Chains A and B, each alone.
Chain A
Amino acid sequence: MTAAVAVNGVTKAFNGVAALIDVDFAIQPGEARGLVGENGAGKSTLINVISGALQPDAGAIEVDGQSVNLRQPNDAMLRGIGTVHQQNWLIPGFTAAQNVELGHERTRTFVKVLRRGNSPSTQEALSFVGMADRAGATVEGLSLADRQLVAIARALFHGTRLLIFDEPTAALTPIEIGYLFDVIDRLRSAGTAILYVTHRLEELPRVAEQITVMRAGRVVGQRPSSIAERELVGLMAGEEVVAQEDVAVTDRRRRTASSRALKPLLVGQDLTDDEDAFRSIDLTVHAGEVLALVGLPDSGAVELTQALAGARRLERGRILLDGQPVNTRTPQSAVRGGISYLAGDRKLKGVIPNSTVAATVTLSALHRVSRAGFVRRRRDDALARQLIEECGVKAASMTLPITALSGGNQQKALFARTLATQPRVIVCEDPTAGVDPGGREALYELLGEACAKGDAVLFSSSDLREVATLSDRALVLWRGRLVAELARDELSVARLMSGQFNQLPELKAMGSD
Chain B
Amino acid sequence: MTVDVDVRPAVQPGAEQDRRSERGRLRALVEAPEFFAFVFLVVLGAFLAVAQSGFLLEFNLQNVGRQTSVLLVLSVGILFVLLVGGIDLSVGGMIAFASVLAAHFADQMSVVAAFAIAVAACMAIGAINGLLVGVAEFSPIVVTLAVGQVLTGVALLMTANGPIQPTNESYSGLATSLVGPIPTIFIAAIACVVVAHVILSRARLGRYVYAVGGNETAAWLAGISTARVKIAAYVICGMFAGFAGVLASSRIGSGDASLGPAEMLMAFAAVFLGGVGFGTGRGNVIGVVFGALTLGVIGNGIDLYQLDSDWQYIVSGCLIIVAIAFQVLPGRLHWRRS
Interfacial residues, chain A to chain B (CB-CB below 8 A): 53, 72-74, 77, 83, 85, 89-94, 98-99, 102-105, 107, 111-114, 130, 133, 140, 154, 158, 174-179, 181-182, 200, 202-203, 206, 274-275, 298, 306, 311-313, 464-465, 493, 497
- Contact A203 to B1, CB < 8 A, known contacts A90-B215, A313-B336: yes
Q: Residue on B with the closest CB to A180?
A: B2
B interface residue count range (under 10 / 10 to 19 / 20 to 34 / 35 or more):
20 to 34
**Is A93 touching B214 in the complex (CB atoms < 8 A)?**
yes
CA–CA, A85 and B222, complex, Å: 11
**Chain B residues numbered 1-59 whose CB sits less than 8 Å from any CB in chain A:** 1-6, 8-9, 11
Min Cβ gap B302→A in Å is: 36
Interfacial residues, chain B to chain A (CB-CB below 8 A): 1-6, 8-9, 11, 198, 202-205, 207-208, 210-211, 214-215, 217-225, 281-282, 336-338
Q: Which residues of A contact B210 (CB under 8 A)?
A: 91, 93-94
Query: Which of B6, B219, B222, B225 meets A154, CB within 8 Å?
Result: B222
Of A53, A83, A94, A182, chain B has the most CB atoms within 10 Å of the CB of A94
Query: Which of A175, A202, A274 meets B8, CB within 8 Å?
Result: A175
**Is A94 touching B1 in the complex (CB atoms < 8 A)?**
no
Q: Which residues of B contact A181 (CB under 8 A)?
A: 2
Min Cβ gap A474→B in Å is: 16
Q: Which residues of A contact B5 (CB under 8 A)?
A: 175, 178
CA–CA, A74 and B282, complex, Å: 26
CA–CA, A103 and B220, complex, Å: 9
- Contact A89 to B4, CB < 8 A, known contacts A105-B207, A107-B204, A113-B203: no
Q: Which residues of A contact B3 (CB under 8 A)?
A: 174-175, 177-178, 497
Q: Residue on B with the closest CB to A182?
A: B6
**Is B1 touching A112 in the complex (CB atoms < 8 A)?**
no
Q: Which residues of B contact A130 (CB under 8 A)?
A: 8
Q: Which residues of B contact A200 (CB under 8 A)?
A: 1
Q: Which residues of B contact A174 (CB under 8 A)?
A: 1-3
**Is A179 touching B2 in the complex (CB atoms < 8 A)?**
no
A-B contact pairs, 13 of them (CB 8 A): A72-B220, A74-B223, A89-B221, A89-B222, A91-B215, A92-B214, A102-B219, A113-B203, A174-B2, A175-B5, A178-B4, A179-B6, A181-B2
**Is B223 touching A77 in the complex (CB atoms < 8 A)?**
yes
Q: Which residues of B contact A493 (CB under 8 A)?
A: 1
**Is B2 touching A177 in the complex (CB atoms < 8 A)?**
yes
CA–CA, A176 and B338, complex, Å: 22
11 further A-B pairs in the complex, CB-CB below 8 A; given A112-B203, A154-B222, A175-B8: A89-B222, A91-B218, A91-B281, A94-B211, A99-B222, A103-B223, A104-B223, A105-B207, A113-B204, A176-B8, A493-B1
CA–CA, A391 and B217, complex, Å: 29
Sorted nearest first, the 8 A-B pairs with minimum C-beta distance are: A74-B223, A89-B218, A103-B223, A91-B214, A102-B222, A103-B222, A112-B204, A178-B3
Q: Which residues of B contact A206 (CB under 8 A)?
A: 2
Q: Which residues of A contact B221 (CB under 8 A)?
A: 53, 73, 83, 85, 89
Q: Which residues of A contact B204 (CB under 8 A)?
A: 105, 107, 112-114
**Is A112 touching B205 in the complex (CB atoms < 8 A)?**
yes
Min Cβ gap A104→B in Å is: 7
Query: Which of A90, A98, A182 meets B207, CB within 8 Å?
Result: A98
CA–CA, A267 and B1, complex, Å: 33
- Contact A103 to B2, CB < 8 A, known contacts A89-B218, A275-B336: no
Min Cβ gap A260→B in Å is: 29
CA–CA, A133 and B11, complex, Å: 9
Min Cβ gap A155→B in Å is: 10
Q: Which residues of A contact B217 (CB under 8 A)?
A: 89
Q: Residue on B with the closest CB to A178?
A: B3
Q: Which residues of B contact A202 (CB under 8 A)?
A: 1
CA–CA, A99 and B166, complex, Å: 52
CA–CA, A400 and B51, complex, Å: 63
**Is A103 touching B219 in the complex (CB atoms < 8 A)?**
yes
Q: Which residues of A contact B219 (CB under 8 A)?
A: 91, 102-103
Q: Residue on B with the closest CB to A206?
A: B2
Min Cβ gap A308→B in Å is: 13
**Is A111 touching B203 in the complex (CB atoms < 8 A)?**
yes
CA–CA, A418 and B207, complex, Å: 39
**Is B224 touching A103 in the complex (CB atoms < 8 A)?**
yes
**Is A73 touching B223 in the complex (CB atoms < 8 A)?**
yes
**Is B6 touching A178 in the complex (CB atoms < 8 A)?**
yes
CA–CA, A396 and B139, complex, Å: 28
CA–CA, A99 and B337, complex, Å: 21
**Is A465 touching B218 in the complex (CB atoms < 8 A)?**
no
Q: Which residues of A contact B2 (CB under 8 A)?
A: 174, 177-178, 181, 206
- Contact A93 to B207, CB < 8 A, known contacts A73-B223, A311-B336: no
